[in-house]
Structure 1
């Protein structure tokens, strides 16, 4: 008798209690659940697209109305990994009708038949953990109307994957992949008969990962806000599973949740989306609200920075700034050269953004998205403040190296405004210049004032600056101060070309002005958004000039027009999700 056939595949009392906990109501006599489960976090729009046969994974769209998911040839490894992770199951459950259930059942048992033997790209620790979580979460939805043979195949496969996780979770990369693997193992250990002994080691290992991977600010080494949200979601799910099964949540586990929650609140804009830094996106619609609602109720603010980010907030205006060094080591494989870059959101409308991660659009877009010119900060002589190393021999990932080594920062809350002063030395080695930036947000949220300086701080830096000027044969070193705009912002030059008028869909009007000494222009830009097939066209404001002296200063202000009301009732609906 094989190892797998000895594992019981029957439901246990614990499993029944677990499913009852996960569902608001019992299935009807026909076996169907009339509403999505309360912890369903999928996208209804994406679920409808899947039901209609449109497979959008990792930036690729394939049509498969009649064939299954596994008969389609994957265009690349990222597409293959995404479908093997079964996160799409959340989207089908969000739809929850008969057609969505049939599609989910066909694809799940198709995976068991084609890939359930334990080999291939789907059998990595993180993808297996992600898959096991979905199978257990949505078991009622999946098993409704299935016969004993199908049910036995489901539990046998789940048992096989649990055994695999128990032996291979250590192979997952520390960070989000390992949290996925351990959470999946905890879920399965609590749910499967005869596998209870696997839960305790996984619980201890998860506690250790919380201590080593979550810092005092509640952040991750990767400094990716969206990744932090995913880790937080996994930890709250694991906590809920432990409490429901009558087990204690380890102090390190609970403390990690309590540290992450305020950090996430600091990384959220006024529209509910996350700041887009270091490979992270805005997060799935409603995911952060759902996760925070399940976490600790305390709204204590983190002291100082949150995962290396500073947040200025007044009324309905939020400004989030990358105010720390870029990640290093393996954590830098998704890092961006974005130190001192900022994003600004007014109410429900993003205004100033960073271009974002281009990972789903191919290697060249991914590299472009990581460069300094793709962020709302200063770029010197067309160079990034850090560079990409040669691809790693095994992972084929490019680390971000030779970036800034110092980022001094000071936050000051004054009577009528909040001010942040910061600097980085990313251009000092090559040009002898330090970039210093001051941002001041007025207490009514109607004005953000910026002061950017390029400084040669000591004699050695001044000599390097002079030598660079002589080498280039120019009178100065060119700089570009960039402000990337969200695609929904309607921008045009105003006041004879000395200002830029910015119209939001809410009806608000913002105006960008500068103090002179630089050339102002509008140029095309791009917005790299996950879930779309191609980059979105946008615009950017650029202030350009030359650093000639040892100190160069550029002042600017972004403020609401005087005729823009203090409170705007934003009733314009966003456009529906699209493949465009």
Structure 2
């Protein structure tokens, strides 16, 4: 075993050297067939922070005012991946001044010096694809003022990375990583002189990936909304590049864009951000609108479910519900036990949320964020809907095990609004109980009326419930959690019978319940990728026990009567900080 590992490691080194040598033997790219138009969107604020030497990657802040980017010791692999992917180049280009350009040039040519030899942490197909896209998009920004020697080194490195992608793109994992690798290869093949012959195989491979990876609902197997947005953005970039080159877009490629666009509109909240499920965040500011506009797809929303999610919308109030099974197998490496969890946004203000992905805050936060209690849904006997596997030997991924077997779903348009109904059997094997949830959003968007039911329906399920009840003589405990956004000011009201929720827009929402459960307000957290630590928040919890075959718990969330029909929300979001 030891000897085989050594040979494999040595073989990898030799192969990497061969790729670098082969790339040098190929006709090096001498320039662009046509100057590509930049399409990526960066953050001016983050660009200014990078110029100041504040490196915020994967939740880690490293101050590096006196050293370059590549001399910094990476705190973990995610930090390393972000800097080698060069998405930060978008931010420096957004800043756009002479200092930002000088920093970008120093870091790009620094990468060529330190990591440009065809091996090391930046030489995976997805990172190479991501990096090539940025280099080509911002070539004018990077090459301004550079002499011929530096320009030739830039093109030679691009040529080597393009050859690497042509040989290694199949090694990228299916899904977003492979789409990144193929889009980078298409970009380079269309843009670089001397690399035109590499575009055609990549175009055919991209069409195949679109057919296999994008399902009928316009979704991915991972069910991660932010990941779907990234794939959609790559497909629109590739389509634009192909059209500009006069090549046209394959039917499979065009059909994938047409399926994804309405799905993303369904996953978008009233404030323009994405629903945060299965490891995804809200998406980069402006990216969703930009990608939807670039797609030229006019269909507004998906009919029924979109990637397993349902959406209710009225009066600038949006509700997005996870109405399907969690992802399975390798696709569940970022999956959450969130079935029937929902998020609610009023205008520009998120109200009910899920805690989000804790991946950037360490292993314990990541595991906690994936559990059912971190989502706005019912949790039975403090049990999560699914458990996590041990880390996989080859990837280190922790997969979801024992998720629900079935989710039933229905959506109805009513005279007074829209109704969502769904149920899952995640707790049936242990307790014999099915969790059913109904959500009614009234037509003016001023109220959501909900009912959560615990049901033992079939004789076999009733017998299982009876056995579970013998082990829990005081009843089987349940908690229904409603996690609040950190900007929501929550206070117990009406002698403990309600909770008042004040939004920064000036709106007041009131949470009430039918008295079957006990209401309390407790601390919670909000996990954001661009923060250094979790944000403090609160959660409403309805707690009780079930001792019957049917236990309904009714609740409502509605705007206070004194809240205006139309609120002019002039409060601005706080600027991004590093605390």
TM-score by length of 2: 0.95
* Structure 1 pair 379–145 and aligned structure 2 pair: CA distance change class (3 A): same
Please state whether the residue corresponding to 2:35 is helix, strand or coil.
helix
Instruction: Work out whether 1:120 is the aligned partner of 2:120.
Output: yes
- In the TM superposition, what is the alpha-carbon distance from 1:5 to its structure 2 partner? 3.3
| CA–CA distance in structure 2, aligned partners of residues 518 and 482 of structure 1 | 12
- In the TM superposition, what is the alpha-carbon distance from 1:429 to its structure 2 partner? 0.5
| CA–CA distance in structure 2, aligned partners of residues 250 and 157 of structure 1 | 29
- In the TM superposition, what is the alpha-carbon distance from 1:258 to its structure 2 partner? 0.7
Counting only pairs closer than 5 Å after superposition, residues 93-108 of structure 1 correspond to structure 2 as 93-108=93-108
Residues 18, 244 of structure 1: 8 Å contact kept:
no
Residues 9, 152 of structure 1: 8 Å contact kept:
no
| CA–CA distance in structure 1, aligned partners of residues 490 and 300 of structure 2 | 38
Aligned counterpart, 1:495? 494
| CA–CA distance in structure 1, aligned partners of residues 33 and 323 of structure 2 | 48
- In the TM superposition, what is the alpha-carbon distance from 1:149 to its structure 2 partner? 1.0
- In the TM superposition, what is the alpha-carbon distance from 1:388 to its structure 2 partner? 0.6
Counting only pairs closer than 5 Å after superposition, residues 295-314 of structure 1 correspond to structure 2 as 295-314=295-314
Please state whether the residue corresponding to 2:449 is helix, strand or coil.
strand
Residues 33, 193 of structure 2: 8 Å contact kept:
no
Residues 30, 194 of structure 2: 8 Å contact kept:
no
Aligned counterpart, 1:18? 35
Could you list the per-position Cα deviations for residues 307-330 of structure 1 after superposition, in whole angstroms to 9, with x for gaps in the alignment? Answer: 100000001000000000000011
Aligned counterpart, 1:147? 147
Aligned counterpart, 1:4? 23
Could you list the per-position Cα deviations for residues 162-181 of structure 1 after superposition, in whole angstroms to 9, with x for gaps in the alignment? Answer: 11100100010000000000
| CA–CA distance in structure 1, aligned partners of residues 109 and 55 of structure 2 | 18
Please state whether the residue corresponding to 1:538 is helix, strand or coil.
strand
| CA–CA distance in structure 2, aligned partners of residues 300 and 375 of structure 1 | 28
Counting only pairs closer than 5 Å after superposition, residues 529-568 of structure 1 correspond to structure 2 as 529-568=528-567
Aligned counterpart, 1:293? 293
| CA–CA distance in structure 1, aligned partners of residues 443 and 88 of structure 2 | 43
Instruction: Work out whether 1:506 is the aligned partner of 2:523.
Output: no
Aligned counterpart, 2:17? none
- In the TM superposition, what is the alpha-carbon distance from 1:10 to its structure 2 partner? 5.2
| CA–CA distance in structure 1, aligned partners of residues 458 and 189 of structure 2 | 61
Aligned counterpart, 1:26? none
Aligned counterpart, 2:395? 395
Residues 242, 249 of structure 1: 8 Å contact kept:
yes
Aligned counterpart, 2:13? none
Residues 235, 253 of structure 1: 8 Å contact kept:
yes
Residues 357, 366 of structure 1: 8 Å contact kept:
yes
- In the TM superposition, what is the alpha-carbon distance from 1:464 to its structure 2 partner? 1.3
Tell me the number of residue pairs that the alignment of Structure 1 and Structure 2 aligns.
Answer: 560
Residues 332, 399 of structure 1: 8 Å contact kept:
yes
Residues 261, 296 of structure 1: 8 Å contact kept:
no
Residues 43, 90 of structure 1: 8 Å contact kept:
yes
| CA–CA distance in structure 1, aligned partners of residues 291 and 350 of structure 2 | 22
Aligned counterpart, 1:183? 183
Please state whether the residue corresponding to 2:256 is helix, strand or coil.
helix
Aligned counterpart, 1:32? none
Instruction: Work out whether 1:410 is the aligned partner of 2:410.
Output: yes
Aligned counterpart, 1:476? 475
Could you list the per-position Cα deviations for residues 263-293 of structure 1 after superposition, in whole angstroms to 9, with x for gaps in the alignment? Answer: 1000000000000000000001111011111
Residues 257, 296 of structure 1: 8 Å contact kept:
no
Aligned counterpart, 1:219? 219
Counting only pairs closer than 5 Å after superposition, residues 63-102 of structure 1 correspond to structure 2 as 63-102=63-102
- Unaligned regions of 5+ residues in structure 2, if any? 1-19
- In the TM superposition, what is the alpha-carbon distance from 1:219 to its structure 2 partner? 0.5
Aligned counterpart, 1:379? 379
Please state whether the residue corresponding to 2:563 is helix, strand or coil.
coil
Instruction: Work out whether 1:277 is the aligned partner of 2:296.
Output: no
Aligned counterpart, 1:250? 250
Could you list the per-position Cα deviations for residues 121-143 of structure 1 after superposition, in whole angstroms to 9, with x for gaps in the alignment? Answer: 11000000000000000000001
| CA–CA distance in structure 2, aligned partners of residues 409 and 96 of structure 1 | 49
- In the TM superposition, what is the alpha-carbon distance from 1:16 to its structure 2 partner? 5.3
- In the TM superposition, what is the alpha-carbon distance from 1:17 to its structure 2 partner? 2.5
- In the TM superposition, what is the alpha-carbon distance from 1:6 to its structure 2 partner? 3.9
Bigger mean CA deviation after superposition, 289-298 or 245-254:
289-298
- In the TM superposition, what is the alpha-carbon distance from 1:466 to its structure 2 partner? 1.6
Please state whether the residue corresponding to 2:539 is helix, strand or coil.
strand
| CA–CA distance in structure 1, aligned partners of residues 73 and 21 of structure 2 | 32
- In the TM superposition, what is the alpha-carbon distance from 1:378 to its structure 2 partner? 0.1
Residues 29, 159 of structure 2: 8 Å contact kept:
no
Could you list the per-position Cα deviations for residues 40-91 of structure 1 after superposition, in whole angstroms to 9, with x for gaps in the alignment? Answer: 4111111111110000111111000010000000011111111000011001
Aligned counterpart, 2:160? 160
| CA–CA distance in structure 1, aligned partners of residues 277 and 153 of structure 2 | 42
Instruction: Work out whether 1:331 is the aligned partner of 2:350.
Output: no
| CA–CA distance in structure 2, aligned partners of residues 164 and 451 of structure 1 | 55
Could you list the per-position Cα deviations for residues 198-242 of structure 1 after superposition, in whole angstroms to 9, with x for gaps in the alignment? Answer: 100000000000000001111111110000000000000000000
| CA–CA distance in structure 2, aligned partners of residues 299 and 347 of structure 1 | 22
- In the TM superposition, what is the alpha-carbon distance from 1:469 to its structure 2 partner? 2.0
- In the TM superposition, what is the alpha-carbon distance from 1:462 to its structure 2 partner? 1.3
- Unaligned regions of 5+ residues in structure 1, if any? 23-36
Aligned counterpart, 1:349? 349
| Cα root mean square deviation, aligned | 1.1
| CA–CA distance in structure 2, aligned partners of residues 160 and 10 of structure 1 | 9
Residues 518, 544 of structure 2: 8 Å contact kept:
yes
Please state whether the residue corresponding to 2:193 is helix, strand or coil.
coil
| CA–CA distance in structure 1, aligned partners of residues 42 and 34 of structure 2 | 23
| CA–CA distance in structure 2, aligned partners of residues 372 and 526 of structure 1 | 14
Could you list the per-position Cα deviations for residues 510-546 of structure 1 after superposition, in whole angstroms to 9, with x for gaps in the alignment? Answer: 0000011110000000000010000000000000000
| CA–CA distance in structure 1, aligned partners of residues 427 and 230 of structure 2 | 34
| CA–CA distance in structure 1, aligned partners of residues 350 and 110 of structure 2 | 42
- In the TM superposition, what is the alpha-carbon distance from 1:296 to its structure 2 partner? 2.0
Residues 270, 345 of structure 2: 8 Å contact kept:
yes
Aligned counterpart, 2:569? 570
Residues 90, 134 of structure 1: 8 Å contact kept:
yes
Aligned counterpart, 1:426? 426
